[in-house]
Structure 1
Amino acid sequence: MELPVFYAKALMPGEDTYTMDEATSKYCIQVLRREKGQPVLLTNGRGQQFTAAILDDNRKKCMVQVSGHTTVPPPAPALRIAISFTKNASRIEWFLEKATEIGVQSIIPLLTRRTEKEKFKTERLENILVAAMLQSQQSWLPELAAPLTFEALVQESAVPQQFIAHCQPEQKTPLQQAMQPGRDTLILIGPEGDFTPEEISLALERGFQPVSLGNTRLRTETAGVVACVLMNAVNG
């Protein structure tokens, strides 16, 4: 039986004990019914996974004895996705969950001319990322970057492979054919209503390659998940 994994944001190698926060303690003790002496796993979301045993099964302040740790190297190459958040919060939350499970390293909320959702509850979204990381048994928490304007991103980005997925009727290469495995990659996913022609032109001027995600028109969050799947598949 696999051991449950818990998020321990502040835990670092070399520490002998760690006290879980109240929400994690409640889940561990009250929901999963773990007891004193039982083993657990913890991760700080930065590549370290810790083996431990419960010292104090307090449901508000569960304390564990750390017995060792292993370090998981960061995923390589790095896959980044910049996506315009949708007005419907549940759709972008669904995307964040799936992107984390698939294995994306960085998610950038993209502010475009047609973006309708520019503000969001960061803490809630980070909790979704943590839950998805634990569910998929990973040790690296994706970075949820600060929102960035389209213009700033395309002008500042220096990622080796840069793509823009848009719906304009011009020549585009399927992503899985345009992308080379083993190289850090960034893809831009537009808002409901797509990027403006001016934004597309600016991206192309800055070296972004236009790509297609298939033959059907996709919702923003669906396009994001498809892009994550294809990027991951190219890298095997």
Structure 2
Amino acid sequence: MLRSNPEIFHLRRLYISQKLAGDISIRDNQHHYIRNVMRMVPGDNIRVFNEDQGEYLATIKNVGKKDTILEVGELLCAPQPQDHQIILLVPPLSKERMHWIIEKATELGVTKIIPIITDRTDIRKVNMEKLESYVIDAAEQSERLSIPSLEPLLPLKEAITALEKQNSDLSIIAAVARIDAQIAIEVLQDSKNKDVAFVIGPAGGFSDEEKTWLCDEKDNVTAVSLGRNILRVETAASYLLSLHNAFH
């Protein structure tokens, strides 16, 4: 049975970080999901996946009080490493808006998400466990085999400086409003086949000092305009990621 079989796509998917071989035990939230939400029973099939091993067909062997036993079967899809890094730096938002942006970023192929603190960031803490659950849910729904990595909350300058040290060839693109900057679509056409990081500012935009640092003092950063309208954080992120996907 291959992943291209239409019947396969009707099966639920679970991201499982442990080794996908033989019998595996799942507990806690995933066990609760199978037992109490989906009410699955022994003999039911499910898809399990992770970035290292790909996706497998699995059969439920037993649903107990504390765990579910799955028997991992045939390989449905081999691992598919992404050719290039797509990194999103974004300030924390309210719970609903953060859920939305994490979900869409995962669907659009982001490989790493870094929450950042800027001068005008209102929310200055994040629930990493909750963000992890958003990422996994979106990967399961969108047929991704990998999940984006999540970095801890960092100040804007510290986050960008760290990325530059890790990858000197990284193309860093910052959405900066109310300045004379290149149109985003022009810059993204030139970033084909490159690792790229998108930097999104908070509501109210970057401060003047941050704009100067991004636009004038950082050689690796390209400031771009997203048009005449001022976009919300999640809209700006989705716009840039969608444009990037259109050229790759």
- Using structure 1 for the length normalisation, give the TM-score: 0.90
1:160 to 142, 159, 170: 170
2:115–2:151 CA contact under 8 A, matched in 1: yes
Of 175-184 and 37-46, deviating more is 37-46
Map 1:13-52 → 2, pairs under 5 A? 13=20, 15-46=21-52, 48-52=54-58
For the residues of structure 2 that align with 1:103 and 1:34, how far apart are their CA atoms? 30
Of 26-35 and 157-166, deviating more is 26-35
2:61–2:69 CA contact under 8 A, matched in 1: yes
Residue 211 of structure 2 aligns to which amino acid in structure 1? Answer: I
1:186 is aligned to: 197
For the residues of structure 2 that align with 1:44 and 1:80, how far apart are their CA atoms? 20
Of 196-205 and 184-193, deviating more is 196-205
Q: Tell me, yes or no, if structure 1 residue 137 matches structure 2 residue 143.
A: yes
Relative distance call for 1:159 and 1:91 in structure 2 (3 A) is farther
What stretches of structure 1 of length at least 5 have no aligned partner?
none
Map 1:86-235 → 2, pairs under 5 A? 86=93, 88-156=94-162, 157=164, 158-170=168-180, 172-179=181-188, 180-204=191-215, 205-207=217-219, 208-235=221-248
Query: Percent sequence identity over matched residues?
Result: 26
Aligned CA-pair RMSD? 1.8
1:5 is aligned to: 13
Relative distance call for 1:73 and 1:38 in structure 2 (3 A) is same
SS of the aligned residue for 1:62 comes to: strand
Q: Matched residue pairs, number?
A: 231
SS of the aligned residue for 2:103 comes to: helix
Residue 198 of structure 1 aligns to which amino acid in structure 2? Answer: E
Higher RCO (C-alpha under 8 Å, 6+ residues apart): 1
For the residues of structure 2 that align with 1:173 and 1:94, how far apart are their CA atoms? 28
For the residues of structure 1 that align with 2:112 and 2:24, how far apart are their CA atoms? 28
Relative distance call for 1:59 and 1:6 in structure 2 (3 A) is farther
2:86 is aligned to: 79
SS of the aligned residue for 2:67 comes to: coil
1:133–1:139 CA contact under 8 A, matched in 2: yes
Q: Give the CA deviation at 1:100.
A: 0.8
Q: Over residues 90-139 of structure 1, what are the superposed CA-to-partner deviations in whole Å (9 max), with x where a residue is unaligned?
A: 21221111111121111110111111111121111111111111010111
Residue 16 of structure 2 aligns to which amino acid in structure 1? Answer: A
Q: Give the CA deviation at 1:46.
A: 4.5
For the residues of structure 2 that align with 1:96 and 1:213, how far apart are their CA atoms? 20
What stretches of structure 2 of length at least 5 have no aligned partner?
1-6
SS of the aligned residue for 2:228 comes to: coil
